[in-house]
Structure 1
Amino acid sequence: MRRAVVCLLAALAVGLVFAAAALGAGTSAAATGDATYVGTNVTTNTTWTPGEGPYVVTTELTVTENATLTVAPGTTVQVAKDASITVAGSLDAAGTSTDRVSFTTARPKPQPGSWTAITYAGTADSRLRLANTTVEYATTAVRVASADGRITVQDSLLRKHVRAGVAVTTADGPPSLRLARSTIADTGYAGVAVTTPGTDPFARRVAGVTIRDTDFRNPGQYGVVVRARHLVGVSVVGGSITGYESGGVAVSTGNRAADVPGPDDRSVTYTTVHGVEFADARGDAVTIESGHLDRVRVSDIDVHGVDGDGIGVRRAIDLDDVVLDDNTVRGAARGIALTHRRAQRQPPHVSVAVTNNTLRETVGAGVSIDAQRLFVSRLDVRNNTVTGSGGDGVALHAPVLSGATIADNTVRGSHDRGVNVRGSRVRNLTVAGNRVAANGRGGVRVRAARTPGPLTVANNTLVNNVAFGARVSGAANGGPVAARNNTVAANTRGITVDGPSPVRLTGNTIAVNTRSTARSADASAVGPSVGVTLTNASGNVTITRNDIYGHLVGLRAATNGTIDAEHNYWGAPSGPFYASVTPDGDGDTIRMRRGVADIAPIAETPHRALIERPSVSLTANRSTVAAGTDVRVTAASPAGPNATYQFTVDGQRRPTQASPSLVSAFDDPGAHEIAVAVVNDRGVASRPPATTTVRVEDASTAPATTAPPPTAGPPQPADSAAPPSLLDSVLSVPGLLGGALWVLAVGVGGYGVVASMRGAQPPVRGRVAHALAVVAAGVWIAAGLLAVPPLLSAGGVALAGWGVVTAAVVAAASR
């Protein structure tokens, strides 16, 4: 009986194969025609059509000047080995979304490099247009050897080329070049390359290059590379660049631009990279190298999975209206890296805005700006979010730095400093409105080898940083150092100023700066406790209307005169403990190693709301468990809804989380300690951490856990049985009867189709086969309705399948 079932299925398969074979034979005959071989140049206006194709280009083919070759939708052009198509006139290959034009190889086993290229060598009146066109398996898809005319590639696919999708090789640069909504994939060197051959790969001038909404996939070394002495109006907008080896978008004006002053200066103007995704690649996402930069913008790009820098501006001479805005960079070497080099005999001009960027988990600095000399009219680092940097969050270095603003940024969790500014002379610097938290080597650091100031640190929130909240140092007096209206809390130390510059500390909250000096992210240990530190200060120091409390030492200073320290709140109505003035004060201590502090009058109440450390407790849902059993611990704290929790399990710190609960399991028997510190929304951590201990017993000695007995369901009838399977149904009497009729129908119908294909008269009319199939399906359907349910589905499927195959055979025969 089982063999009968196998035979039945085999017969059905044979029938379907016969029908498909008939259909395929008809399709092949319709699609195959004689190829048109092209071995002479196109000298007059000519149209290639799919009915005459495929066109096989057997040798070098030129579309001569004043001639236009039009390739109609659905046409295939096959180019012989080492042959190419040169366009001195015009080429218009415009397919449609359903009938594409194809330029490919005639080789049966296509490989990249099977033919040379479509080479554009046109005049001012020439046009090269590829629309809904596929160009594949060449050395280069489109090679541009003329700077005249216009090239457009839209809605096209350029793939599997040895060198490039589009390569511009003329020293005069490209003509008007526009790519839109296309894909360039699997090229060896670049998706789009503007480079000249020879020892100097830099074109004289590149202008009018627009790449919009185009995807570059595995393009080789570069997605887009442009090497020219002058770039004007180059834009890459939308789309994606993935899988490159050296750079996503790379623009260079020459290796020694800084040594070429005067009329031959290199320049990049009106250049834009906007809205492009860069992913899963090596090298920088965007690089602009050397020259005078004017109206250059990189904005709204998304960089992830890239091991180079997100945005790199290298060795620029002038930076005039350079905007790096609203970009997202995750996991790159650095987020944004800018270097400036002074040109010979030319004063530098700098106008740069680094704004609204999100830079996360970079290996080095989030923002790195390194300049030889910056007298800036505008250098704004503003409204950026920088988190988890492996170096500094924001790093700014220049021997002479004047006129920079670092404002309204969030810098959190950097391995080194949150904001790090250094140089020989630093003046007219503003650090304002930033939130700088939980950085590994300090909050805001300004270090001048010679003179700091004038500079302002204002309205910042500097919390939970190792080492210090803010520190300014310099060897000589460069101008006043002003820190006002900052919140400086829960750091190792609060505010430190080293050097003789005048100091103005007004309106700050400097509280509970007692974090451990350990560089780990653990915020649970208590370390040094100093609010304000002044070393080598001049007598020109004002500390007034601040709240300084929660420290062992509120003020530690060494000055050459008297500090004006009036109207400060020191943590208690009785004032600070100042041995020579207020020995009964219960507030923070004042320690003067040199000089004196004039503290009266003293503020008896704080000027602003007090900052207090949050408390926390920790409980476990069970204290003794078997090995491998989950334990849930839950922290309780009044720290507020935006608090975060830092759990530590057996000395290993877990990632910071918003949930107050943690679930863990332990494999090793013994006592295991779980600790938690809570950090409130102001960045202040609880001290000390709350702990609990969980004891784990060996599973072999722990009491066994017995599962509850299964809940009894309703009693089942004694004669209830599972429904018959499909195999049992086919082996039933109606199943076998219908199967026999179906095998007969398939045999008669299949034989008739084969006979018709051979031009012979079938021995049995087609209606007989149809009738047998309908009767067979009817037997199954009737049996399914009456007694054997699975046969109902079998009959329906058989009847529908017969109809589909019959329709396909009829359609194929009528073509």
Structure 2
Amino acid sequence: MKRLLVALTAALVITSTAAGASLAFSSPVAATEPTTIESCTTINASGEYVLANNITGAQDGCIQITADNVTLDGDGHVLDGEGENYERAIVATDVENVTVHNVSITEWAGEGILFESVTGGEVRESSFEVVDRGAVVSDSSNVTVVDNHIFDVNIVGVELERTNNSHITANLFEEKYIYAGIELSHSHNNLIDQNTVRDIGGNVLNAKESNRNVIVNNTATDTYGGVIMRDSDGNRISENTLSDTDTAVSVRGAKNVISNNTVIGGFTGISVGGSEDTVVKNDVSHTIDFAITVDGTNQTITDNHIRGGGEGISGSGGGVRVEGANQTIANNNITGAVNSVKVQFSNGTIEIVDNNLESFQRGVWVADKERAVCGQKESTNASFVEVHGNAIADDGYHFYGVLNEANGTVNATGNYWGATDGPSSPEDQTVTDPKTGRQANGSGTTVSDGVRFDPFLTTDPTTDDAQSEA
């Protein structure tokens, strides 16, 4: 009898539980409608909000967001400051997880959208027109600015100030801009990728004191300048395409990597100054001045492909211009530059090794230069210049394979001069190796006085197993 009661009780419990579950699943939960906004306001409660109409003739800080977990949908409507010197359209301060999307912001004297002390959030699918600054993110982290159209902006499109671990991606910047499309200031570990910048009067990106950022897969054309970084370390600038800019990439700092970029035209291609930067596997073509310029110390320029360069600077531009100390120019392919490599103001070892230099006026030009820096005279010391293992080819276009105009002797032994019998001397002159006394009477490219060339390679090291003449 007891066993029967237990079984019946268990059956009732199972039946009741199943029924309860069935009732729970059959009860629909009503969806919460977004709160509509029809005029300037302060959002001080979590939730979803939507603009119901355009807001015109607004006020400073038209929409203020002071609560966490807020989504504001502009629904395609316009926040119009009407050019009345109102400073900001939307401001989020001291909050987490805020998203603003699908809003059009026009005619504001300050920031279109300001995120200040925000942790986690998005600005997306919005447009900014006739504002001083489009989207500004300050003292924040983990913010994404994505898929916005930012045009006819006076100063800066997107600005990160003291902001880390954030993402600027897939935005379109065009027209006007006095300063830059993107600006980083004291901002670290950010990703800037897949943006398009075109026809602006400023730079693609300005950065100062900003470290370990990644700038990758962006496209820019017809801008005043490209990616310009100052006092910034450990950044990676890779796989960008920059056309017709004044200077495509300019970096001053330490341990930055500039790699796999495509630079077409413009004035200067890539410029590095500081220490321990690496410029590798870039394709730079037809710059007016130099494709790559290098100063500072311990810089490495390697495996780049340079075509043309220097045509617009009365013969003084070209492939690579290098100064400073402990610099390495290696394994580059430089074709058709007026001067393949120019050395000036050398005050430490400059290694030019294993490069392929073709179709130049001067293959390696050690220029006699002087200047005063902080009251101290600097000049070019040719004795610091080491040129080895290069193919310095003659196609009838050149003036000199190696030209030394500075004090000291260039060590250029172990190079291939475009002929098995070695380098030649200038017309009506006989150059001899300053150490071995061998005459430069071959049929290869020309060397000047003050150049060691013996021994030399008798085969092209870029195509064959190089052999050195005894």
**Shorter-chain TM-score category?**
0.7 to 0.9
Query: Does the 8 Å contact 2:415/2:453 carry over to 1?
Result: no
Give how far 1:560 is off.
Answer: 6.9
1:211 aligns with 2:113: no
**Could you list the per-position Cα deviations for residues 72-119 of structure 1 after superposition, in whole angstroms to 9, with x for gaps in the alignment?**
xxxxxxxxxxxxxxxxxxxx994xxxxxxxxxxxxxxxxxxxxxxxxx
Rounded to whole Å, the distance in 2 between the matches of 1:436 and 1:566 is: 28
Query: Does the 8 Å contact 1:547/1:608 carry over to 2?
Result: no
Give how far 1:380 is off.
Answer: 0.9
Q: 1:795 maps to which residue?
A: none
Q: 2:242 aligns with which of 386, 410, 434?
A: 386
Assess, with a 3 A threshold, how the Cα gap between structure 1 residues 562 and 161 changes in structure 2: closer, same or farther: closer
Give how far 1:555 is off.
Answer: 0.2
Q: 2:285 maps to which residue?
A: 437
Give how far 1:186 is off.
Answer: 4.8
Query: Does the 8 Å contact 1:185/1:191 carry over to 2?
Result: no
1:193 aligns with 2:79: no
Q: Superposition pairs for residues 110-129 of structure 1, below 5 Å?
A: 129=34
SS at match of 1:567: coil
Q: 1:490 maps to which residue?
A: 336
Q: 1:724 maps to which residue?
A: none
**Could you list the per-position Cα deviations for residues 645-684 of structure 1 after superposition, in whole angstroms to 9, with x for gaps in the alignment?**
xxxxxxxxxxxxxxxxxxxxxxxxxxxxxxxxxxxxxxxx
Give how far 1:460 is off.
Answer: 0.7
**Could you list the per-position Cα deviations for residues 739-787 of structure 1 after superposition, in whole angstroms to 9, with x for gaps in the alignment?**
xxxxxxxxxxxxxxxxxxxxxxxxxxxxxxxxxxxxxxxxxxxxxxxxx
1:468 aligns with 2:318: yes
For 1:296, the aligned partner's letter is: S
Query: Does the 8 Å contact 2:422/2:440 carry over to 1?
Result: no
Rounded to whole Å, the distance in 2 between the matches of 1:436 and 1:601 is: 30
Query: Does the 8 Å contact 1:469/1:492 carry over to 2?
Result: yes
**Could you list the per-position Cα deviations for residues 686-722 of structure 1 after superposition, in whole angstroms to 9, with x for gaps in the alignment?**
xxxxxxxxxxxxxxxxxxxxxxxxxxxxxxxxxxxxx
**Could you list the per-position Cα deviations for residues 301-351 of structure 1 after superposition, in whole angstroms to 9, with x for gaps in the alignment?**
11223434553325x33x32111111111112334333325xxxxxxx721
Q: 2:354 aligns with which of 497, 501, 507?
A: 507
1:243 aligns with 2:89: no
Rounded to whole Å, the distance in 1 between the matches of 2:442 and 2:52 is: 80
Q: 1:327 maps to which residue?
A: 195
SS at match of 2:214: strand
Rounded to whole Å, the distance in 1 between the matches of 2:440 and 2:134 is: 67
For 1:382, the aligned partner's letter is: S
Q: 2:256 maps to which residue?
A: 404
1:162 aligns with 2:57: yes
Q: Superposition pairs for residues 524-539 of structure 1, below 5 Å?
A: 529-535=361-367, 536-537=380-381, 539=383
Give how far 1:235 is off.
Answer: 1.4
Give how far 1:225 is off.
Answer: 2.2
CA-based RMSD of the aligned residues comes to 2.9
Assess, with a 3 A threshold, how the Cα gap between structure 1 residues 308 and 232 changes in structure 2: closer, same or farther: farther
Give how far 1:574 is off.
Answer: 2.1
Q: 1:428 maps to which residue?
A: 276
- Structure 2, unpaired ranges of 5+: 1-30, 311-316, 368-379, 426-430, 433-437, 465-470
Query: Does the 8 Å contact 2:112/2:128 carry over to 1?
Result: no
Query: Does the 8 Å contact 1:574/1:604 carry over to 2?
Result: no
Query: Does the 8 Å contact 1:285/1:308 carry over to 2?
Result: no
Give how far 1:559 is off.
Answer: 6.9
Assess, with a 3 A threshold, how the Cα gap between structure 1 residues 335 and 275 changes in structure 2: closer, same or farther: farther
1:587 aligns with 2:437: no
Query: Does the 8 Å contact 1:421/1:446 carry over to 2?
Result: yes
Rounded to whole Å, the distance in 2 between the matches of 1:220 and 1:407 is: 38
Assess, with a 3 A threshold, how the Cα gap between structure 1 residues 496 and 175 changes in structure 2: closer, same or farther: same
Q: After TM superposition, which residue ranges in structure 1, 4 or more long, deviate above 6 angstroms?
A: none
Query: Does the 8 Å contact 2:104/2:126 carry over to 1?
Result: yes
Q: 1:369 maps to which residue?
A: 229
1:231 aligns with 2:118: yes
Assess, with a 3 A threshold, how the Cα gap between structure 1 residues 340 and 601 changes in structure 2: closer, same or farther: closer
Rounded to whole Å, the distance in 1 between the matches of 2:87 and 2:190 is: 26
SS at match of 1:469: strand
Assess, with a 3 A threshold, how the Cα gap between structure 1 residues 388 and 507 changes in structure 2: closer, same or farther: same
Query: Does the 8 Å contact 2:357/2:363 carry over to 1?
Result: yes
Assess, with a 3 A threshold, how the Cα gap between structure 1 residues 558 and 280 changes in structure 2: closer, same or farther: closer
Assess, with a 3 A threshold, how the Cα gap between structure 1 residues 157 and 413 changes in structure 2: closer, same or farther: farther
Between structures 1 and 2, the one with greater strand share: 2
Q: 1:58 maps to which residue?
A: none
TM-score, structure 1 as length reference: 0.45
SS at match of 2:62: strand
Q: 1:336 maps to which residue?
A: 204
Query: Does the 8 Å contact 1:285/1:309 carry over to 2?
Result: no
1:547 aligns with 2:391: yes
Assess, with a 3 A threshold, how the Cα gap between structure 1 residues 190 and 211 changes in structure 2: closer, same or farther: farther
1:153 aligns with 2:49: yes
Query: Does the 8 Å contact 2:79/2:89 carry over to 1?
Result: no
SS at match of 2:287: coil
Give how far 1:576 is off.
Answer: 0.8
For 1:531, the aligned partner's letter is: G
Q: 2:456 maps to which residue?
A: 601
Query: Does the 8 Å contact 2:180/2:206 carry over to 1?
Result: no
- Structure 1, unpaired ranges of 5+: 1-91, 95-128, 196-202, 254-266, 342-348, 514-528, 610-815
Between structures 1 and 2, the one with greater helix share: 1
TM-score, structure 2 as length reference: 0.76
Q: 1:284 aligns with which of 156, 177, 180?
A: 156
Assess, with a 3 A threshold, how the Cα gap between structure 1 residues 427 and 557 changes in structure 2: closer, same or farther: same
Give how far 1:181 is off.
Answer: 6.5
Q: 1:768 maps to which residue?
A: none
Give how far 1:175 is off.
Answer: 4.0
1:304 aligns with 2:154: no
Rounded to whole Å, the distance in 2 between the matches of 1:488 and 1:167 is: 56
**Could you list the per-position Cα deviations for residues 25-81 of structure 1 after superposition, in whole angstroms to 9, with x for gaps in the alignment?**
xxxxxxxxxxxxxxxxxxxxxxxxxxxxxxxxxxxxxxxxxxxxxxxxxxxxxxxxx
Q: 1:121 maps to which residue?
A: none
Assess, with a 3 A threshold, how the Cα gap between structure 1 residues 320 and 242 changes in structure 2: closer, same or farther: closer
Rounded to whole Å, the distance in 2 between the matches of 1:209 and 1:192 is: 15
Rounded to whole Å, the distance in 1 between the matches of 2:294 and 2:335 is: 19
Q: 1:784 maps to which residue?
A: none
Q: Who wins on radius of gyration, i.e. which is larger?
A: 1
Assess, with a 3 A threshold, how the Cα gap between structure 1 residues 538 and 165 changes in structure 2: closer, same or farther: closer
Give how far 1:534 is off.
Answer: 2.5
Rounded to whole Å, the distance in 2 between the matches of 1:444 and 1:326 is: 24
For 2:141, the aligned partner's letter is: T
Q: Superposition pairs for residues 60-79 of structure 1, below 5 Å?
A: none
**Could you list the per-position Cα deviations for residues 252-305 of structure 1 after superposition, in whole angstroms to 9, with x for gaps in the alignment?**
x4xxxxxxxxxxxxx22111101222234444221223x3x2202111111223
Rounded to whole Å, the distance in 1 between the matches of 2:100 and 2:43 is: 19
Assess, with a 3 A threshold, how the Cα gap between structure 1 residues 184 and 599 changes in structure 2: closer, same or farther: farther
Query: Does the 8 Å contact 2:74/2:104 carry over to 1?
Result: no
Rounded to whole Å, the distance in 2 between the matches of 1:411 and 1:222 is: 34
Query: Does the 8 Å contact 2:391/2:415 carry over to 1?
Result: yes
